[in-house]
Chains A and B, each alone.
Chain A
Amino acid sequence: MNCAECKELLVAYVEQLLDKSQEKTVYEHVEKCQSCRAEASELKTLQERLVKNGKALSESGLEDKVLNQIIREQNVRLKSARKAGEGLNIRRIIMKSKITKAAAAAVIIFAVLIGINIFGGTVTFAKVAEQFLKARTVVYDFIIGDEENNPVIMHEIVVGPRIRRTISNLPGMTQIIDMETGKMLALNDVDKTAAYVNIKGVLQERTRGYIEFVRKVLMELKDSQKVVKLGEQEIEGRKAIGFSGRGNNNQELKIWADPKTAVPIRVELRLGQLLVVFKNFQFDEPIDDSQVSMEVPEGYKLEEAEIDFTKGTEEDFIKSLRVWAEVLLDGKFPDAIGTERYMKQMPLIGEKLAQSGLSKDEAEKLAMALPRGMFFLQLLEIDDKYHYAGKGVKLGEADKAIFWYRPKEAEKYRVIYGDLSVKEVSKENLPK
C-alpha cells in the first residue's frame, strides 16, 4: 500500500468502517509511515473534537423548553380559535375552499389599488422620497384600519414591479403580483395549489407601470413647497422626524423617518374614511428572485382561476350586505362597514358557507359578493362619500335607512333601506 492509497482510506479507518483485512493493511502502513501517522492522528483529533462538541450540543436539554412552549402556544391558539373561528380544523376547511382563494385574491387586489395611492398625487420630503426612489427592494408591513385591535397585517416584499404578499388572517396563502403584466400568482401553501389570476379592466390600468409612476410623482414632489415639517417624535421606539402633506385628491400623508439617515420608519395615509399604515420598512435587503417569481413553484399543482373585478356595482354591494347579515350575523346588519371590516370577514365567510349546506357553485357566488361589494364601497370610501347607519337594524326593516351615497354626477342620493330596497332621495330629504 502506498501513501495515496492509505490516505484515501484514513477517514474510514478512523471511523472503524474498514473490514478486517483492509484495516490491517492500513494499520501496517501507518506504523511504518510517519507522514500517514501524523495524518491519522490529526484526523483522530478532529474526530474527537466533533464527538465532544456533538455530545455537548445533543445534551442541551431543549426538550422541556420546547414542550412547554408548545403547550403554551397550543392554549393560546385554542383560545383565539374559539374567539375568531380560526382553529386548525377550520383553517383547513377554509384553505381548501376555492371561495377563500377568490376572497383572498380580492383582498390582494384592493390592497394593490390602495398601495398605488400612497404615491398618487401626495407630497413628501425629497430625501425621504429618495429612499423609495433608489431602493431596488422594499419590505414592509401594511395595515388597514385599527392597528391595536386584532389588525389584519399584510407583509409585502416589493422587488421592481413585483410584489410578494402574505396576509395575517389568511395563513398559508401567498400572492405574487406582477404590476407590469397585471397578473397575480396565488399560492396555497396548505394544499400546494397555485392559480393565476388576471387583474382585468380598471384595476389593471391603475396597477400598470407602478414603479415608473411612483418615480415620476416623487421626482415632481422633490421640489414641492407643500410639505409641512412635523418635528421630532418617538415613533416605533425610535427617534423620528415627520413630514405631512396633502395630495391633489385630498389624501393626507404622513411620513416618519430616521432624522439622520432619512430612512422611512412609518407611513400613514388617510384616504377619506380609510386609514392605511405602513411600517417595519427594510430597504434594499438582498431578496432572492425566486421569492417574486411568477413561475409555479415545484410541488404545486396549477389550478385555473380567473376572477373578474371589472364590476363592483351597487347591486353587488347590496348582495354583500345581504350575505353579511344573513350568513354571518343572524339577520342583523353589521355595526360598521368599510375595507377593514370586509377584510376581517373574508376567512369567516368561507367557513360559514362551507357549513351552510349550499352547493359549491351557490356558495362561491355568495362568497364573491363580499369582495365585489367591497370594491364598490372602497371607491366611495376613498372619496369619503357615503354614510352608513345599519347598526342595530335587522334585515327586512323597510322603514330604516342603512346606507346612502350620491353617485358620480348625479343630483339625487341613493338610499338603501333595511329590506335592501333602494330609493332616490334629494339632499333635503336625507335621513338625519
Chain B
Amino acid sequence: MAKADKYYIERCLDGHPDDFRYLVRRYQGVLLAHLAGKLGNKNSAEEVAQETLVRAYFKMNNLEKRESFFPWLLGIGDRVAKEHQRKEQLRRQREVVRSYSEEVGSPELSQDYALEAAIAKLPEAYRRVVLLRYYGNCSCSQVAEQLDMPLGTVTKTLSRAYAMLRKTLEQQKQEEIYEVQK
C-alpha cells in the first residue's frame, strides 16, 4: 500500500499528473470520513477534501518520506478544514451583519453523520486504523503494513476503537432522546 503510494507519488513528480487519480481513488473515502465528522456537513467535507487533494498534489515535492502520504494528507486536510471553518465563521458573521432576518438553513449531513462524528472524536491512533480499514478499503494486514505495526496491534486498536465508538454513539443517542423529551 505505502509502497504503491510511493510509486504513484514519484510518477506525479515525474510529470504524470494523471496518475494522481490512483491516490485520489485510494484516499478519498478516508479523507471524507476524516473531514465529515469534523465539519458536520457533507458539502463542506467534499469541498475541503477536494482542496486538500489539490494542495497535496502541488506540495508533493515537500513530502520527504514518500511512504507517509497518508498521515501527511490528513494533516493537510486538518489545515484546510480549519481555514474553511474560519472562512465559514466570517461568512456567517457577515451574513448576520447584513441581514438579521435571513434564516440559516440546516446543513446537509451525510448519510451517517453520527458515525462520522464519533470517528472524529477518536484519538488519532485509533482513528487512523478505523479510517484505513473501512474508508480506505484495506484489510487488517494491509493496515498493519501501512502503519508499520504488528497485526496484533491493529486488532487490539480496532477492538478499543469499537468500544469507544459504541460509547460515543450511545451517548449521542441519549442526548437525542433528551432533546426530544425537552
Binding site for B on A (CB under 8 A): 8, 10-12, 15, 17, 42-43, 46, 49-60, 62-63, 65-67, 69-71, 73-74, 77, 88, 189-190, 192, 237-239, 258, 260, 282, 285
Contact = CB atoms under 8 A, between A and B. Distances in A.
Most buried by B among A46, A60, A69: A60
Given A54-B29, A58-B29, A60-B28, A190 B62 contact: yes
A238 B97 CA distance: 7
B17 interface: yes
A66 B135 contact: no
Given A15-B140, A51-B134, A54-B135, A66 B32 contact: no
Nearest to A234: B98
Nearest to B30: A58
B162 A60 contact: no
Contacts of A58: 28-30, 32, 135-137
Given A58-B29, A63-B21, 9 more contacts: A12-B155, A50-B134, A52-B112, A54-B33, A57-B135, A58-B30, A63-B25, A66-B54, A238-B97
A11 B156 CA distance: 8
Most buried by B among A50, A260, A282: A50
Given A46-B165, A67-B18, A60 B97 contact: no
Contacts of A17: 140, 151, 155
Nearest to A43: B162
B29 A69 contact: no
The 9 closest A-B pairs by CB, nearest first: A58-B29, A54-B134, A11-B159, A50-B134, A57-B29, A57-B32, A54-B135, A53-B112, A66-B53
Contacts of A50: 115, 130, 133-134
B50 A69 contact: yes
Contacts of B18: 67
B38 to A, nearest CB: 14
B178 interface: no
Most buried by B among A15, A54, A190: A54
B106 interface: no
B57 interface: yes
Given A17-B140, A53-B33, A67-B18, A12 B54 contact: no
B137 A54 contact: yes
Interface string B53-86: 1100110011010000000000000000000001
A46 B166 contact: yes
20 contacts: A17-B155, A42-B166, A43-B162, A46-B162, A50-B115, A50-B130, A50-B133, A53-B110, A53-B135, A56-B110, A56-B111, A58-B28, A58-B32, A58-B136, A60-B29, A62-B28, A62-B32, A66-B57, A67-B24, A69-B54
Given A50-B130, A67-B17, A238-B94, A57 B33 contact: yes
Contacts of A57: 28-29, 32-33, 36, 110, 135
Interface string B162-176: 100110010000000
Contacts of A55: 29
- Tell me the dominant secondary structure on chain B's binding face: helix
A124 to B, nearest CB: 22
Contacts of A66: 20, 24, 50, 53-54, 57
B17 A70 contact: yes
Contacts of B21: 63, 67
B93 to A, nearest CB: 9
B48 to A, nearest CB: 11
Given A11-B162, A15-B140, A54-B135, A60 B32 contact: yes
B42 to A, nearest CB: 10
Interface string B83-102: 00010000000100110000
A258 B97 CA distance: 9
Contacts of A65: 50
B134 A62 contact: no
A73 B32 CA distance: 22
B49 interface: yes
A117 B74 CA distance: 41
A285 B53 CA distance: 27
Contacts of B162: 11, 43, 46
Nearest to B58: A73
B97 A239 contact: yes
A68 to B, nearest CB: 10
B130 to A, nearest CB: 7
B116 interface: yes
B146 to A, nearest CB: 15
B154 to A, nearest CB: 9
A322 to B, nearest CB: 35
Contacts of B145: none
Given A12-B155, A70-B20, A238-B97, A63 B28 contact: yes
A237 B17 contact: no
A174 to B, nearest CB: 13
A15 B135 contact: no
Nearest to B141: A17
Contacts of A15: 140, 155, 158
Nearest to A260: B97
A282 B86 contact: yes
Contacts of A52: 112
